[in-house]
Structure 1
């Protein structure tokens, strides 16, 4: 199987996680950010992730991919743990701030989807329409970090185990880890102890890399 992704995309990280957690081989292919034709030729629109199944057919939508792999590969499904309404609410609240923190930094991390200047320019133009200029976003770093830090402090006591946020792997892990993982590109942001242990352990378990080593 092949999984077509952007390295920065949290929805792509969701799909990547299930392969890593179940030790199922998959070949990763990264689209350039301004490559519209490739995804459109596969699923009729520009969207990632896209799974190319063993039969050659294509499947979009991160949670559909997760469900397909979890229920059709390996001995049995692994995402069987409980879900937490409190964690879901914190994820939703973090997403009010995280894109302004992360998007201006993504283009400086050396990611494959931004390997050309035209890919960078396309991404910047697209995001600036929604959130303002990247310079303006970077100027808000202190206030955005403060807001996210308060939410991480709320999250920290909810994490039951570094290997599964609710004590047993669930869809909450698939949704939470990618959000936390992308925040590791923000140098000024500190993670509370249980959250840091969780994001570090889940990166190893899922084989999805973090950005601490190149944070800006």
Structure 2
């Protein structure tokens, strides 16, 4: 199987997680951010992740990919229930966190941004959605303070170091990509429970943290 991704993409990180957690081999292919042709050839639009299955069919929705891969290789790993409190926390944080993360992603050493053309493409596209990056930096201190406070609340919700609710659930697949990307921001302070959780999921998913 082949998994076409951007390494910064939260949805791609989710799909990488299921392969690592189930110890299933997959050929990771990182597309350049400005490559519109390759994904359109496969699914008629510029979107990742894209899984090319062993039957040569393509899948393009991250949750569909996760559920499909979880049916492979004996027993499923997604056996836990989701927690409305975790869902609420994620919804709250996602309303503001990408105004902090996107400008950091834009200058980080991600493979898909490793050419001037790809990095420029990313910047232009994202500034249309989030606003001028230079202006966004003025709010960084406030946003960092917000996430540091919210991580304290997340710590209370973590039941086990390897699963937020005590058994692996979709909540883990939504949480880890965010914590993975937060490692781009050096001023973020992690409660011990959150740091242990992040590090454990990173190890079990076979997705090393950026920094």
Could you say which TM-score interval applies, normalised by the shorter chain? over 0.9
User: How large is the Cα RMSD of the aligned pairs?
Assistant: 0.9
1:183 matched to 2:182 = yes
Number of the residue aligned with 1:195: 194
Equivalent residue, structure 1, for 2:148: 149
Determine the structure 1 residue equivalent to 2:51.
51
Structure 1 residue 180, shift from structure 2 partner: 1.3
Q: Under a length normalisation based on structure 1, what TM-score does the superposition of the two structures give? A: 0.95
Instruction: Give the TM-score of the pair, scaled to structure 2.
Output: 0.97
Tell me, yes or no, if the aligned pair for 1:98 and 1:183 is still in contact at 8 Å: no
Instruction: Tell me, in whole angstroms, the C-alpha distance in 1 between the residues paired with 2:93 and 2:209.
Output: 18
Tell me which residue corresponds to 1:41: 41
**How far apart in 2 are the matches of 1:56 and 1:11?**
21
- CA distance in structure 1 between the partners assigned to 2:108 and 2:208 by the alignment: 13
Shift of residue 131, structure 1, vs aligned partner:
1.1
Q: How far did 1:139 drift?
A: 2.2
1 CA distance for matches of 2:209 and 2:133? 22
SS of the residue aligned with 1:23? coil
**Residue 91 of structure 1 contacts residue 179 of structure 1 at CA under 8 Å; is this kept in 2?**
no
CA contact (8 A) 1:93 1:151 kept: no
- Deviations 1:87-107 (Å, cap 9, x if unpaired)? 011111111122111111113
What residue number does 2:137 align with? Answer: 138
Gaps of 5+ in 1: none
Query: Any idea what the Cα deviations from partners look like across 1:128-183, whole Å, max 9, x if unmatched?
Result: 11111111122211000111112111110110111111111111111111111111
1:207 corresponds to: 206
